[in-house]
Structure 1
Amino acid sequence: MPDLPFGFSSGDDPERDKRKDGSGSGSGPGDPFGGAFPGGQFDMSQLGQIFSQLGEMFSGTTKSGGGPVNYDLARQLASKSIGFVAPVSEQTTSALGDAVRLAETWLDGVTPLPAGTTRTVAWTPTDWIDNTIPTWKRLCDPVAQQLSTVWAQALPEEAQAMAGPLMAMMSQMGGMAFGSQLGQALGTLSKEVLTSTDIGLPLGPTGVAALMPEAIEELAAGLEQPRSEVVTFLAAREAAHHRLFSHVPWLSAQLLGAVEAFAKGTKIDMSGIEEFARDFNPASLADPSQMEQLLNQGIFEPKATPEQTAALERLETMLALIEGWVQTVVSQALGDRIPGTVALSEMLRRRRASGGPAEQTFATLVGLELRPRKMREAAALWEKLTDAVGADARDGVWAHPDLLPSSADLDEPAAFIDRMIGGDTTDLDSAIEAALAEGDAEREDGSGAAEDPPRDT
């Protein structure tokens, strides 16, 4: 934790060694516990005093709303890393709006899905944070909540009773740790993203096409294509994403459901906790630098499970299908109009595949890499499907999640295309109707997927 976000000292305390070997005073100014450990020895009778004074230490950073992540701290750290941001001019906002409207006109000719944007905005990095934090809460809360409880539930009952105050403190510290890492990640990501859908998720308000002029300007400066072509290309991608998210109502719920399934599969390696409990000295809580070291030991980090692997595969496949579809329709809409479309598409594909430092930080925090690993294969499948059955039948696949290609289909698209143009699924409308009827039956008996929760705007 290079920025020491929790108010810890850097560890450069010349008096600490004296306190450890008992040569220093236990009640001097450097002792945050007022002599609770005379001579460096821990007195169990002073345990209440420890937690009381620890509570005072954390009183200035309590979690807003009592959730599993300290989002107030996340906002503060993100804003600090962004620094001063100049407002976007009306001229720039108007130019971006014109680009989106032009892109929508061109997209109308390559997909039956109607336009999904209701207005266009130009966001600064700060605007991006403010408008996307509600969705980040929905993404992070399930993982953070599961992580904050699973290890405590795995402890024996007698250990849970003894560790009650410590568990409450660790929960608060966990919320601060998540908030700190999330804030740093979002602060960096806010300066890297180009649009509100740049990472493949509907992060912003429904129907709002949002572009980041500062990041777009920096990107265009390093490319050979004219800036106007870069802007129109990104506007078309943003508009195409919104067509899917606005007119495929189950899509957002499926994406968030995959994240929640990932969270429910979280398991903790209890051997690390047992080793920690065996060697843990409560007196170490008197030393902030040792508290920091405790947070960095990783004993509460989740371990990969088969359930998480399956959920992650579903999420990655869905992200790949979304990105592949967007690339396909944008290339069809702009290919004859903007010569650099192919080069720009390949540049963004590589950009997403490699991931930036903020995405890597988020992957470390939540355990999820929000990157489509098979985007090239997905784009190839959508292109071949368009050639085989046309745009209407191609986009009819989005009518129900059961109709979407699987991860295996991305590796072997020929079989999926054969199912679409022959056999029992020659009549696509019948296939869609049957799938929808099955989904309705599942919802009636309570076994189906949850409905898309209302989006925060």
Structure 2
Amino acid sequence: MADDDRTPDDDLQELLRRLMNGGAIDPEQLSRMAGMPVDPATLSQMMQQFQGMFAGAQDGSISWDATKRQALHIANQDGLGVTDGQRTDLDQAFALAGLWLSEVTTLSPTAELPRAITRGQWVEQTLPVWQEVAEPVATSIADALTEALRSQVPEEMQDIVQSAGRLMRGVGGTLFATQLGQVVGKLSLEVVSGADVGIPVIPAGSAVLLPQNFAELGAGLEIPEDQLALYIAARELASARLFRHAKWLRLHILSQIDDYARGISVDTDALEEMASRLDPSNPEELRQALESGALLPQQSEAQKLALARLENLLALVEGWIDVVTADATARVPHLERIAEAIRRRRAEGGPAEDALGALVGLRLRPRRLREAAAMWRAVGDAVGIAARDSLWDYPDLMPTSEDIDDPAGLIARLEAQARGEQPEADDMDDALARLLAEEAERTEGEADRDAPASPSDDDEGHPRPEGDQPV
């Protein structure tokens, strides 16, 4: 076909084929399609980056390497590590806080020694959890982007888009993964410990502090650094003890987050409308849409129920940690000021945490923290710390939302158990008893039907009259 006979659609089809096949892109061709002169060097560099993204998405999978690169780039910008002085000071705080904790909880210390880590190390340790939390949303956005792009392509090019469906999906996932990396990287500049974000993002039983961020936190609160270090260290060790003792707890929380996240869908109308006017040279609108949560619709009823369950569970965890930490650090002069400042900081969150909530549609701050802490305080005062801490032994012993609202019933049950009394049957116990009774009757009936007939019985299983026995 002569150049004079080529149409814009012909040029676009050839461009897409070259992108998908890794071929060279002609800057003059792009300039002609755009209808304006373009600097060849700038355009060549842009297309190399664009082709690299396409090449990494050929199998349709999400490139989480992009998340790691972005997060580590932000986390390691200052290039600072942990100094020997910082490590020594925090080791001393951990040692004293551990002794104090053993006086106020029956949960045993962890075998792993607490550590001071850098922002980059925090990113490395926590990325698997962020990936697990974000993956359902990333998949939904990648799939929706594929459909939105398909709807914008002329009919004669549908065969090209159809064959490139997996590639398009991978590109959409990579865009999301890159944005997640920016959010996690910024979050690494704010957190002061492993338990700081409210969910178990570090391995169970681990306790870590980030000296770089800890120093900034102390300067902002105007609280003596050694006192703040003791409080933060006690909180981190209390969290580590809890998740080491209740080995089921970490999976329980992450499973509930997964239940919530898998109910997330993407607002395809908003995505298609944005795709129709998206300027490839200015991805700012897409970035803002991802970060603001504009592509995520309102929560469904099922999601609201899942979120309520998750918030209650997180409140129980944070409330117990608060109570135990307060008891352990009762000797600290500025305890109330420190506790209130940390509580307010957790409730408000920071810019990066707000961005994370918008990105995955989930806010990780428990709203019922004060009520849960008051419940744990009341239970400990009434039945002692051993009975209080035993509620973490098994999932079915966990306090309920009703127990948070009114601890009196839970306290009464624990007191009756201490006296050796059997707990009163509730509706669930009654229902279970009825099911077991029905099952026992059914099994007994089947056994009677399957039993061999006695020689003294007739063909229908009834006893024969005397004198009418078979010979």
Shorter-chain TM-score tier: 0.7 to 0.9
Matched, 1:71 2:64: yes
Matched, 1:81 2:101: no
Q: 1:321: Cα distance to partner?
A: 0.9
1:289 counterpart residue number: 281
1:60 counterpart residue number: 52
Deviations 1:216-261 (A, max 9, x none): 1111123343211111111100100000111101101111101110
Distance (Å, rounded) in 1 between the aligned partners of 2:64 and 2:299 = 26
2:185 counterpart residue number: 187
8 A Cα contact 1:97 1:121, kept in partner = yes
C-alpha change, 1:114 and 1:185, in structure 2 (3 Å) is same
Opposite residue 67 of structure 2, the aligned amino acid is: A
The 3-state SS of whatever aligns with 1:343 is: helix
Matched, 1:380 2:346: no
2:254 counterpart residue number: 256
Matched, 1:393 2:360: no
C-alpha change, 1:134 and 1:169, in structure 2 (3 Å) is same
Opposite residue 197 of structure 1, the aligned amino acid is: A
8 A Cα contact 1:110 1:332, kept in partner = yes
1:90 counterpart residue number: 84
Matched, 1:320 2:315: yes
Of stretches 139-148 and 179-188 in structure 1, the one that deviates more from structure 2 is 139-148
Alignment of 1:190-205 (within 5 A): 190-205=188-203
Aligned length: 390
Alignment of 1:40-439 (within 5 A): 41-43=8-10, 47=13, 49-53=15-19, 56=22, 57=47, 58-61=50-53, 63=56, 69-82=62-75, 83-149=77-143, 163-165=161-163, 167-269=165-267, 271-272=269-270, 288-289=280-281, 293=285, 301-335=296-330, 337-422=331-416
Q: 1:95: Cα distance to partner?
A: 2.3
Q: 1:333: Cα distance to partner?
A: 1.2
Q: 1:429: Cα distance to partner?
A: 10
Q: 1:105: Cα distance to partner?
A: 1.1
Deviations 1:356-393 (A, max 9, x none): 00111111111111111111111111001101111111
Distance (Å, rounded) in 1 between the aligned partners of 2:59 and 2:167 = 13
1:441 counterpart residue number: none
C-alpha change, 1:319 and 1:36, in structure 2 (3 Å) is farther
Q: 1:152: Cα distance to partner?
A: 6.8
8 A Cα contact 1:197 1:241, kept in partner = yes
Q: 1:348: Cα distance to partner?
A: 1.1
C-alpha change, 1:204 and 1:291, in structure 2 (3 Å) is closer
8 A Cα contact 1:147 1:266, kept in partner = no
Distance (Å, rounded) in 1 between the aligned partners of 2:382 and 2:13 = 72
The 3-state SS of whatever aligns with 1:172 is: helix
Distance (Å, rounded) in 2 between the aligned partners of 1:290 and 1:185 = 20
Opposite residue 121 of structure 2, the aligned amino acid is: D
Opposite residue 249 of structure 1, the aligned amino acid is: K
Deviations 1:159-195 (A, max 9, x none): 9988534533432232222222212211211111111
Distance (Å, rounded) in 1 between the aligned partners of 2:337 and 2:165 = 53
Q: 1:99: Cα distance to partner?
A: 1.4
Distance (Å, rounded) in 1 between the aligned partners of 2:4 and 2:320 = 63
Q: State TM-score, norm by structure 1.
A: 0.74
Distance (Å, rounded) in 1 between the aligned partners of 2:64 and 2:422 = 45
Opposite residue 311 of structure 1, the aligned amino acid is: A
Distance (Å, rounded) in 1 between the aligned partners of 2:79 and 2:194 = 18
Opposite residue 75 of structure 1, the aligned amino acid is: K
Distance (Å, rounded) in 1 between the aligned partners of 2:305 and 2:21 = 40
Opposite residue 244 of structure 2, the aligned amino acid is: S
Q: State TM-score, norm by structure 2.
A: 0.72
Deviations 1:289-316 (A, max 9, x none): 3776567667853542122212211221
Alignment of 1:445-456 (within 5 A): none
Distance (Å, rounded) in 2 between the aligned partners of 1:123 and 1:36 = 64
1:5 counterpart residue number: none
- Say what the alpha-carbon RMSD is for the aligned residues: 3.7
Distance (Å, rounded) in 2 between the aligned partners of 1:109 and 1:312 = 35
Distance (Å, rounded) in 2 between the aligned partners of 1:180 and 1:48 = 28
8 A Cα contact 2:204 2:244, kept in partner = yes
Distance (Å, rounded) in 2 between the aligned partners of 1:226 and 1:110 = 24
Structure 2: segments with no counterpart, 5+ residues: 23-46, 433-471
Distance (Å, rounded) in 2 between the aligned partners of 1:405 and 1:37 = 75
8 A Cα contact 2:109 2:241, kept in partner = yes
Of stretches 343-352 and 80-89 in structure 1, the one that deviates more from structure 2 is 80-89
Distance (Å, rounded) in 1 between the aligned partners of 2:270 and 2:221 = 49
C-alpha change, 1:126 and 1:234, in structure 2 (3 Å) is same
Q: 1:136: Cα distance to partner?
A: 1.8
Deviations 1:252-300 (A, max 9, x none): 11111011101221234455567789xx5xxx89x62377656766785
Opposite residue 208 of structure 1, the aligned amino acid is: S
Of stretches 227-236 and 129-138 in structure 1, the one that deviates more from structure 2 is 129-138
Opposite residue 70 of structure 1, the aligned amino acid is: S
Q: 1:428: Cα distance to partner?
A: 9.4
C-alpha change, 1:187 and 1:151, in structure 2 (3 Å) is closer
C-alpha change, 1:384 and 1:312, in structure 2 (3 Å) is same
The 3-state SS of whatever aligns with 1:267 is: coil
Opposite residue 309 of structure 1, the aligned amino acid is: K
Distance (Å, rounded) in 2 between the aligned partners of 1:307 and 1:125 = 36
